[in-house]
Amino acid sequence: MTALNVAGGRYRRRARLRVAAVSAAVAVLGPGCSGAADDGDGGDVVVMAASSLTDVIEIVFEGREGVTPVIAGSSTLVAQLAAGAGADVLITANSATMEQAVSDGSVHGEPVLIALNALVLATPAGNPGGVTALADLGREDLLIGLCAPEVPCGELARQALDAAGIELSADTLELNVRALASKLSLGELDAGLVYATDARMAGLATVDAPELSDHLTGYYIASVSAEPPPQVQAVIDDFAMGGSVGAKALYAYGFLGSDSRPVSAVPP
Amino acid sequence: MQALTAASHSGDAVERGPARPAGQLPATLTVVGFVALGLLALPIVGLLQRAPWTALPSLLGESAVLEALRVSLVVSVSAAAACVVLGLPLAIVLARRRLRFPRIVRAVVMLPMVLPPVVAGTALLFALGRRGLVGQWLEEWFGVSLPFTTAGSVVAAAFVALPFFVVTVEAALRQAGDELDEAAATLGAGAWATLAHVTLPTIRPALAAGTALAWARALGEFGATLTFAGNFPGRTRTLPLETYLALERNPEAAVAISLVLMAVALAVLVTLRDRWMPR
Amino acid sequence: MTVSFDGRVARSGWTLRVDGLDIDEGVTAVIGANGTGKTTLGRAVAGLDRLADGRLEIAGSVADDPAASVFVPAHRRRVAMVFQDLRLFGHLRVIDNVAFGLRRAGADRAGARRQAGALLERVGVDSAAWPRRPAALSGGQRQRVAIARALAPEPEVLIVDEPLASVDSSGRAQLRSLLGDSPARHVILITHDPVDVATLAERVVVLDGGAVASRGSAAEVTASPGCEWAATFLGANVVPGRAHGTSVTTEGGLVLAVAEEAAGAVYVTFPAHAVTLHRDRPAGSARNAWQAELRRVDVDGERARVHLGGPVAVKADVTRRSADELDLRPGLTIWASLKATEVTVVT
């Protein structure tokens, strides 16, 4: 009896670990914990940015005090904002997510287009799968990866493939473009559609695919508040003004330039 | 592990005598304790409060959810089975053999418990991926490639769930000691007979608990599976992955799936308490 | 057939060294203070501990010989053990605990249970207890089950470690008789109980400090115990008799007052130094006094052990000086006295 009791203590402990795991799973659904300041005045300026901007954000805000970047997938960021996460500036990787944020009422400033990004057909260095055209994404013998249609890069890829009428033979639908690029660079996948910027960062080879040139995604910046305080406006200007530090960084990382036009004025 | 073992030795409820009357506990302690309990319970309450109860059947009846459920069951049950087949010998070796570097070995066993699952998945890619340390030979010799397959999901889930089984069973083996094994030997039982007729039956509660915990962990696995096995409906997209994607598409569906996962986890824990934790 | 043991067993921190010990058939008691290696000796014979060097033979075949790389594992030795902490299988019914060894030897379940039941009956475990788990039984009942379990596979050697420590008094006599005519050819009895030695053992091995201090028949070892602990232990007087209330009538008709109440056939035990000798009938608090014939005096250093005949054969330890003062010599008739509180009644 005694022995059983002693053993029982152990299971109880295990059990607590499980509860932790459960609440962690549950937390995925709850509001994201951004550690953000409330309004921007007094605390740091909190900048929520799409994960494809990770390196640009790092360059722009390196050594700069008073700015806290929060990096995640655009849709995650928008969901977090809607759930009440505190932030001052939102940068998304497509127009749909920015529109969602506007219609949620979590963004009050006017969205501004700051860059464009293109999808490319990417392969590991050396192209071991011998990929020559977009149609190869239908080859059964290759391991093909795309972004999941729920995230912007996947939505864009779906549009492009539909337009080109290509029957896809995908093996994985990654939840963000960085993960997809890493698996390509590790050689675990033979081909995939990633943003030009991510292909460049991950050192991937690209294969010409003219069908993709029509499918661009726009990056948008907007202030959460309708009347941003000066330090928040300064952060927006860092990206939205031609020749700004943000614009230069975006260009350096392979983003396509834009003329800082408002959302409604640009094609999707 | 150290803490677990120590606690189990002192946790001898029979000899400890009656619990202290609550009046002797510092009030602050009680309050903080209940605050902590609230912290654990709050997310569950939040989920229940947002649950689309009436729409639940139709949300869970979606073919994508059913497909994810099927994949999850296949993956978690296979992973739990793998944990038993591989974990039992490991637990026995850890508990019974004198090891050269016990602390290091133990740390390696526990590692998946503390490793961020995404890191675990990446490490699995480096080891078992197509270009990985072992994976390249698997591909070359047997034509087996684990990433982006259901088998890959099982490997990832088993990797993170294995320590839960091993730690539970090893602790029970240590608790049981080898006295009964010795007695069996003097009665003519060889090593296998002793294992089958004495050692394993003696730790049956721990075997059940370890298997259940490993299964529950495998069922909830997200990061390592995603990183190592990817995400494809009907093949590698498990319920947690479906939940994550549903969050982008239809938050109500995500809540519905989470309710299912939570109910399953609670059922496992409550069963463990009642059946395998004699007071 | 003998168990012959010649070698060392290394335990962490100390070593048991046994030089050429032959254990013949019958019951051999192994005695010694705590930590002198009694249990280690038993474990080495059973195959639970290995020899560091030397050689162990059981019934003519080598069981352990490190130099020749021979080690017969415990389950092939036909050496059963009744452990001090019993080690019953908690997950098995009582009957299946006893059937365990038979099943391992190839018996089918029904046959093994039948034999196990017969053994349980012999050791006095009521059939109502057979389908229960050991945890539901009293300490004494569990001890009987442990003995039955060890006897079941008909071992060549039966090692019993502190056999009667937790048996209730009513069962001791029964278990003693069971061990006395045990089917095992060798019974090695590791014990702290002088009654066990006096009533069961044909030979005695005394261990002291991890080595054999003395060996031989009970009489031989008593004459030359080899160490202080054994001298005291073997100096214990064990006298059979019948108890009625707080007095015990010995077989020789002497009535001894005792401190505890008992009834029926018993043994009374008391240490040799508890017996006081007087030239004249003693007065005072000792209610037990009788006239005895002095048979022999063994002088060992400052101690003299006096062997008395008369209504009851007992040993008395006195100092050499008082032996001289009393002028003790064989043939003398002398008064012996014993305090009731010094007497232990063993049922």
pLDDT at A12 over 50: no
Q: Which helix (H) or strand (E) holds A80?
A: helix A74-82
- For A126, left (φ over 0), alpha (ψ -120 to 50), or beta? left
Q: What is the CATH number of domain A31-268?
A: 3.40.190.290
Contacts of B183 in chain C (CB under 8 A): 81, 83, 87-89
* C104–B186 CB contact, under 8 Å: no
Handedness of CA B170, B176, B178, B180 (dihedral sign): negative
How close is the nearest chain B Cα to the Cα of A123, in Å? 14
Higher pLDDT among residues B143 and B42, named by residue: B42
Quickly state the pLDDT bin for A27 (edges 50, 70, 90): very low
Chains that touch A (3 or more CB pairs under 8 A): B
Cα angle value A43/A47/A48 (rounded, 5°): 135
pLDDT at A32 over 70: no
pLDDT at C251 over 90: no
Closest in C81, C90, C91 to B186, CB measured: C81
3-state class of C285 per DSSP?
coil
Mean pLDDT lowest for which of A239-248, C136-145, C170-179? Answer: C170-179
Quickly state the pLDDT bin for B19 (edges 50, 70, 90): low
Closest in B213, B230, B243 to A172, CB measured: B230
The residue-averaged pLDDT of A57-65 equals 86
ipTM metric? 0.81
* A21–B176 CB contact, under 8 Å: no
The residue-averaged pLDDT of B85-97 equals 95
Decide: A113 and A220 in contact? Cβ < 8 Å.
Answer: yes
Residue B20's pLDDT is: 52
Question: Any idea what the CATH number is for the domain that residue C325 is in?
Answer: 2.40.50.100
Residue A9's pLDDT is: 37
% chain C with pLDDT above 90: 41
Write the DSSP string, B239-259.
HHHHHHHHHHH-HHHHHHHHH
Residue A8's pLDDT is: 36
Quickly state the pLDDT bin for A19 (edges 50, 70, 90): very low
How close is the nearest chain C Cα to the Cα of B178, in Å? 10
Quickly state the pLDDT bin for C193 (edges 50, 70, 90): confident
Taking the alpha carbons at both ends of chain B, their separation in whole angstroms is 22
Rounded to two decimals, the pTM is: 0.76
Decide: C311 and C252 in contact? Cβ < 8 Å.
Answer: yes
The residue-averaged pLDDT of B165-188 equals 94
Distance, CA of C198 to CA of B218 (rounded, Å) = 64
Closest CA to C115 of C154, C81, C144: C154
Crossing angle of helices B2-10 and B150-176, rounded to 10°:
40
Quickly state the pLDDT bin for B191 (edges 50, 70, 90): very high
Last residue of a domain, one of C212, C234, C256: C234
Closest in B180, B188, B204 to C87, CB measured: B180
Quickly state the pLDDT bin for B264 (edges 50, 70, 90): confident
- Same domain for C221 and C104, yes or no, is yes
pLDDT 10s digits, B94-141 = 999 888 888 899 999 999 999 998 899 999 999 998 888 998 888 888
The residue-averaged pLDDT of B80-87 equals 97
pLDDT at B278 over 80: no
How close is the nearest chain B Cα to the Cα of A197, in Å? 21
Residue A185's pLDDT is: 93
Residue A133's pLDDT is: 93
How close is the nearest chain C Cα to the Cα of B190, in Å? 6
Last residue of a domain, one of C215, C234, C253: C234
Domain boundaries, given as residue ranges, for chain B: 55-276
Give the distance from CA C126 to its chain's centroid: 26
Residue A205's pLDDT is: 93
Closest CA to C18 of C44, C28, C33, C1: C44
Residue A173's pLDDT is: 93
% chain B with pLDDT above 70: 89
Phi and psi at C309, nearest 5°, equal -105, -160
pLDDT 10s digits, A192-211 = 999 988 898 889 999 999 88
- Same domain for C67 and C141, yes or no, is yes
Question: Any idea what the CATH number is for the domain that residue C77 is in?
Answer: 3.40.50.300
Residues of C with CB under 8 A from a CB of B: 46-48, 73-81, 83, 85, 87-92, 100-101, 103-105, 149-150, 152-153
* B186–C46 CB contact, under 8 Å: yes
* A174–B231 CB contact, under 8 Å: yes
Decide: C164 and C177 in contact? Cβ < 8 Å.
Answer: no
Higher pLDDT among residues C287 and B95, named by residue: B95
* C73–B190 CB contact, under 8 Å: yes
The residue-averaged pLDDT of A5-30 equals 37
Decide: C130 and C53 in contact? Cβ < 8 Å.
Answer: no
**Tokens read off for B177:** 């000691």
Distance, CA of B41 to CA of A13 (rounded, Å) = 17
Decide: B113 and B191 in contact? Cβ < 8 Å.
Answer: no
pLDDT 10s digits, B228-246 = 999 999 999 999 999 988 8
b/e per residue, B235-256, with b = 16+ CB within 10 A? bbbbbbbbbbbbbbeebebbbb
Residue B33's pLDDT is: 93
3-state class of A169 per DSSP?
coil
pLDDT 10s digits, C49-69 = 999 999 999 988 999 999 999
Query: Could you tell me which residues are beta bridge partners of residue C299?
Result: C304
Decide: B95 and B101 in contact? Cβ < 8 Å.
Answer: no
The residue-averaged pLDDT of C114-128 equals 93
Tell me which residue range forms the domain holding C190: 2-234
pLDDT 10s digits, C124-133 = 899 999 999 9
The residue-averaged pLDDT of A86-110 equals 91
The single-letter code of the amino acid at B30 is T
Scan for tokens 């012999």, then name that residue. Answer: C122
Residue A87's pLDDT is: 92
Q: CATH homologous superfamily of domain B55-276? A: MetI-like (1.10.3720.10)
Cα angle value B54/A22/B228 (rounded, 5°): 105
% chain B with pLDDT above 90: 55
* B184–C100 CB contact, under 8 Å: yes
The residue-averaged pLDDT of B181-200 equals 95
- State the virtual CA torsion across A134, A140, A145, A151 in degrees, nearest 10: 80
Residue C58's pLDDT is: 93
Decide: B132 and B125 in contact? Cβ < 8 Å.
Answer: yes
Last residue of a domain, one of C234, C268, C299: C234
Query: Could you tell me which residues are beta bridge partners of residue C28?
Result: C188, C203
